[in-house]
Amino acid sequence: MDGRGLNRVAVAVVLSVGVMAGAYGVARGLVPDTTPARLAMVLPGHGAVDIAPYLERADMGHGARMVEQVCGGCHALKAGAGDGAGPNLFGVVGRPIASAPGYAYSDALRHSAAGRTWTEQTLSDWLSSPDRFAPGTRMSLNGLTDPALRADIIAYLRTLRQPPD
């Protein structure tokens, strides 16, 4: 193929991309966003549950095993350790949401949780369904429906902090 043929292929590619981008822009302008402002229904086992009664019976040993199994692949759990795919969970209980230094949080989490703190209840709500807590979050966990399991995990996460002086 000579230079003239290559130019024709390049122009065809550029025009195709331009037409596709233009069509996408027109479609976005004409078709309204129909995302509901709130959920129409909540499936059983996926609603907010008061975690306090479960924390009274929480098993930290089971929580430690579950944190290693469920969270440890993406999150560091030691003080001063770097972030993984997710932020370091050391000291997470009581920390402002989306505030670990140096970690690039999703816009969804930063906007939906602005000014909030990771309490036992907010952690439970997050673990039950990260996408419901912060729609559009990058966290890939589908959610843990068992409140007793979430309480075990949270009880262990409470131990990941600096001891008082």
DSSP the chain: --HHHHHHHHHHHHHHHHHHHHHHHHHHHHSPP---SS-S---TT-S----HHHHHT--HHHHHHHIIIIITTTS--STTPPP-SS---TT-TTSBTT--TT----HHHHHHTTT-B--HHHHHHHHH-HHHHSTT-S--------HHHHHHHHHHHHH-SPPP-
| CA dist., res. 156 & res. 140, Å (int) | 21
Token pair of 41, please?
């229904």
Q: Which residues pair with 96 in a beta bridge?
A: 117
Question: How many residues would you count in the chain?
Answer: 165
pLDDT-derived band at 163, boundaries 50, 70, 90: low
Tell me: pLDDT of 21 over 90: yes
Comparing 8-22, 41-55, 63-77, 127-141, the range with the smallest average pLDDT is 41-55
Q: How crowded is the C-beta side of 5, counted as CA atoms within 13 Å?
A: 2
Instruction: Please indicate, yes or no, if residue 30 is contained in any of the structural domains.
Output: yes
pLDDT digits (tens, 9 = 90+) for 130-139: 888 888 888 8
- Amino acid 11 reads V
Tell me: pLDDT of 165 over 60: no
Tell me: pLDDT of 42 over 70: no
CB 43 within 8 A of CB 131: no
Res 43: pLDDT = 57
User: Do 12 and 68 share a domain, yes or no?
Assistant: no
pTM: 0.67
User: Do 121 and 83 share a domain, yes or no?
Assistant: yes
Domain that holds residue 26: 1-34
User: Do 62 and 92 share a domain, yes or no?
Assistant: yes
Res 37: pLDDT = 65
Instruction: Please indicate, yes or no, if residue 111 is contained in any of the structural domains.
Output: yes
User: Do 61 and 91 share a domain, yes or no?
Assistant: yes
Mean pLDDT of 82-104: 85
Res 3: pLDDT = 85
pLDDT digits (tens, 9 = 90+) for 58-72: 899 999 999 888 888
Q: In 3D, which of 41, 48, 39 has the Cα closest to residue 124?
A: 48
| CA dist., res. 120 & res. 76, Å (int) | 19
Q: What total number of domains does the chain contain?
A: 2
